[in-house]
Amino acid sequence: MSLRTTACLCEERRRENMITPSQIREKNLSTVQSGGYDKEEVNALLAQIVESYQAVYDENKELYRKMEILAGKIEEYRSEEDSIKTALITAQKMADRIAKDAKEKAEEKLSASAATAQQTVTDAKEKADKMVAEARTYAANFTKEKQDAAESIITEAEAKANDAIDGAKVVAQEMLNQAKQLSEELMSKAKSEKAYHEQLIEKLRSESKSFKDSLLSLYESQMDRLGDMVDLKPQVDEDQAHIDSVESEMNQIISNIDEINKLQSQTVDAPTEEAAAQAPTAENTKGDTDDDQVDQIIDEIEEKQAPAASPEEVSSALNAFTEDEITPLDENAPTISEIDEEPELEQVPPQQEEKTLFDDQAAMPFEDYFHVKSGDERTSETISLTAPDEDEYEEEEGSSKLRGFFKKKK
């Protein structure tokens, strides 16, 4: 008995014993005059039972329909299984027969080839023996004149062989000289590039030191000017600590460049022809690795450049700039005279220097860190190190005298 037939019989027996929703609807309950249930409550309960039972009944019908579909699929798969097995057996027999035929044909061809080879060897041996016998007979019949002619031919052949050997030696020597010259050129180029990189690193050190000194002098002059108006000693200490950290990071970059230069010099000084042949490729790969390391170090510096302000500082700063009322002054606080005119800031004269490494580039190497760019010296991320515009010091109603300094950069 198949699975589908068994499922059908079980479903029919279950349906015979199951009450249908229509039977529940048509069921009439007898009522009594005393001690009976409320008719409305009983009807409401029966309606609820009918609704719930209807859902279960419909779901049961849907499940039975799906079960019939699955049973039919199983029967189809079982019927197809036998045909698949038969096809596999037939294919296996066919493969075995083909392999057997191929093996027999290969053995036949191998036997025929062996017989042919043996016959060829026999024929060749016979011909060789015949030729040797004829040659011996012919040589035995040579006279003294033939021997002299043979000696002259041998002498001429030896002369030609010696000439050929001498020519080969000359060609080999020329090739060796060319290889040595190429190796020397590659080594010279590698050494010159090494010297260039050393000069470049030394120039970078001097330029970075000059740039750092000029930047520090400008920053200190600005902080001195602002220190006359507001007590910024904690901020100055914090900025000085930040500058020290930047200086340590720059020293770390220079030390990393020195280590890279040492590794490169060790690679260039290896006196092997293989290293000389692969010098350009290795140098390019090394240069790419150095650039990647420098970029990674600069990215780490940028992540550490500005410490995040605490929520309390941000909230107090926003409240201070959005309040309409004047903040009362502490009685014990020092008195600061009102600024009627904006101070004249010292203009740092441009330094007349020769063309440096920074002039050859489209942007200075530290512009992303200090946010100082040519043509756009003020950004929206940090406080500008240049003097503010004149209109930023103009006083407006409800604004501070120092609004130009703390104003958000556009």
Residue-level pLDDT at 11: 62
How far apart CA 22 and CA 19 sit, in angstroms, is: 8
DSSP-derived 3-state class of residue 83: helix
Query: Same structural domain for residues 278 and 401?
Result: yes
Would you say residue 168 lies in a domain? no
Give the mean pLDDT of 61-84: 85
How far apart CA 382 and CA 372 sit, in angstroms, is: 10
Tokens linked to 246: 């930047």
Tokens linked to 205: 């050190």
The answer to whether residues 273 and 179 touch, using CB atoms and an 8 Å cutoff, is yes
More confident residue, 110 or 35: 110
More confident residue, 14 or 132: 132
Residue-level pLDDT at 339: 44
> 97, 119, 141: which is the final residue of a domain?
119
Give CA 327 to chain center in angstroms.
Answer: 54
Handedness of CA 138, 140, 144, 150 (dihedral sign): positive
Count of CA atoms in the C-beta half-sphere (13 A) of 339: 17
Tokens linked to 410: 């556009």
Would you say residue 340 lies in a domain? no
Query: Same structural domain for residues 201 and 112?
Result: no
Would you say residue 343 lies in a domain? no
Residue-level pLDDT at 289: 54
DSSP state of 390: G
Q: Which residues contact 290 (CB under 8 A, 6 or more apart)?
A: 257, 260
Query: Same structural domain for residues 202 and 277?
Result: yes
More confident residue, 377 or 122: 122
* DSSP one-letter string for 149-199: HHHHHHHHHHHHHHHHHHHHHHHHHHHHHHHHHHHHHHHHHHHHHHHHHHH
Would you say residue 140 lies in a domain? no
Query: Same structural domain for residues 180 and 114?
Result: no
Residue-level pLDDT at 301: 60
pLDDT tens string 365-393: 444 444 444 444 444 444 444 444 544 44
Query: Same structural domain for residues 64 and 199?
Result: no
Query: Same structural domain for residues 276 and 397?
Result: yes
- Residue 290's pLDDT band (cuts 50, 70, 90): low
Where b means 16+ CB within 10 Å and e means fewer, 249-279 reads bbeebeeebeebbeebeebbeeeeeebbeeb
**Phi/psi of residue 53, nearest 5 degrees:** -65, -35
Host domain of residue 310: 176-321+356-406
Q: Which of 40-49, 103-112, 360-369 has the lowest mean pLDDT?
A: 360-369
Query: Same structural domain for residues 232 and 376?
Result: yes
Would you say residue 311 lies in a domain? yes
> 86, 119, 152: which is the final residue of a domain?
119
Would you say residue 219 lies in a domain? yes
Residue 146 has pLDDT above 70, yes or no: yes
Residue 251 has pLDDT above 70, yes or no: yes
Tokens linked to 308: 């995040």
Residue 401 has pLDDT above 50, yes or no: no
Give the mean pLDDT of 262-273: 58
> 119, 141, 165: which is the final residue of a domain?
119
Residue-level pLDDT at 228: 66
pLDDT tens string 298-334: 666 656 554 545 555 555 655 554 554 454 555 555 4
Residue 286 has pLDDT above 80, yes or no: no
Would you say residue 141 lies in a domain? no
Query: Same structural domain for residues 217 and 316?
Result: yes
**Which of 25-39, 247-261, 319-333: highest mean pLDDT?**
247-261
Q: Which residues contact 402 (CB under 8 A, 6 or more apart)?
A: 229, 230
Query: Same structural domain for residues 222 and 90?
Result: no
Where b means 16+ CB within 10 Å and e means fewer, 319-351 reads eeeeeeeeeeeeeeeeeeeeeeeeeeeeeeeee
Query: Same structural domain for residues 108 and 180?
Result: no
Length of the chain: 410
- Residue 46's pLDDT band (cuts 50, 70, 90): confident
Give the mean pLDDT of 252-266: 74
Query: Same structural domain for residues 111 and 180?
Result: no
Q: Nearest 5 degrees, angle CA 284-CA 290-CA 292?
A: 105
Query: Same structural domain for residues 92 and 212?
Result: no
Residue 177 has pLDDT above 60, yes or no: yes
Would you say residue 143 lies in a domain? no
Give how many domains the chain has, as a whole number: 2
More confident residue, 60 or 306: 60
Residue 176 has pLDDT above 50, yes or no: yes
